[in-house]
Amino acid sequence: MKPAMETAAEENPEQSQERKGCFECCIKCLGGVPYASLVATILCFSGVALFCGCGHVALAGTVAILEQHFSTNTRDHAVLSEVIQLMQYVIYGIASFFFLYGIILLAEGFYTTSAVKELHGEFKTTACGRCISGMFVFLTYVLGVAWLGVFGFSAVPVFMFYNIWSTCEVIKSPQTNGTAGVEQICVDIRQYGIIPWNAFPGKICGSALENICNTNEFYMSYHLFIVACAGAGATVIALLIYMMATTYNYAVLKFKSREDCCTKF
């Protein structure tokens, strides 16, 4: 019994040292995780997925509403149909591009975070690495400005559908329901410029407009445009986080690459 107890006592310090080394390794690995880039990547993927998925379905529903109610002649909205089809193809490209770009930015975040915190021995950086980091900073700024425009553009169909919905609510209100003035409450979709002025009928009034608001196409398209706009806003926030993270990492790498650098961040 005594030799067995001595053997166990000899193994305990080795096991504790092994556990300590594993714990320190885990803490070191967790310290190299770019949490800001990770949050931005999740937010970017979610926002782009909402914008692309909901926007694609909402555009298809908008075309169906126009063809069935506001522009029965296909030649009147032929240009709009081509533009919407082109926008749907652009949505596929946006989704693919941001999937790859998000992964690249996350990988670049791991690299710069490890370099800034000096997790892998002596700090080393090259001019090529700093140039790549600077390129990502510039590209992220450009994409951020572009997505501000996309966010503003995605609010336009929300505004249009909200006007139609609010007009329908006026028709349904007790003050106007059952009166002759209901048929004088109209929505002229031509005033938004999406179909030409010679499109027929172009304007829907009264009970016919109320029936449009009660259709599944209108209900789904309206709410999907809202979700797509929210997705575009989430993508803008993600790109802002990317901008802050990449700019900070680039500035620190630039500073620490100087020969007279002696300050530890």
Contact 52, 95 (CB under 8 A): yes
Q: Which pLDDT tens digit goes with each residue over 227-251?
A: 999 999 999 999 999 998 888 877 7
Judged on CB neighbours under 10 Å (0-12, 13-18, 19+), 165 is middle
Q: Assess whether pLDDT exceeds 70 at residue 263.
A: no
Model pLDDT, residue 119: 47
Model pLDDT, residue 177: 57
Q: Which of 28-32, 56-60, 236-240 has the lowest mean pLDDT?
A: 28-32
pTM confidence score? 0.79
Q: Assess whether pLDDT exceeds 50 at residue 262.
A: no
Summarize the confidence of residues 80-90 as an average pLDDT.
89
Q: Which pLDDT tens digit goes with each residue over 122-133?
A: 555 666 767 877
Q: Which pLDDT tens digit goes with each residue over 172-191?
A: 875 655 555 777 888 988 88
Contact 188, 203 (CB under 8 A): yes
The residue ranges of DSSP E strands in the chain, in sequence order, are 186-188, 203-205
Q: Is 223 helix (H, G, I), strand (E, B) or coil?
A: helix
CA–CA separation, 103 vs 45, rounded Å?
10
- Average per-residue pLDDT for the chain: 80
- What percent of the chain stands above pLDDT 90? 31
Model pLDDT, residue 27: 64
Residue 25's pLDDT band, with cuts at 50, 70 and 90, is low
Residue 150's pLDDT band, with cuts at 50, 70 and 90, is very high
Model pLDDT, residue 24: 66
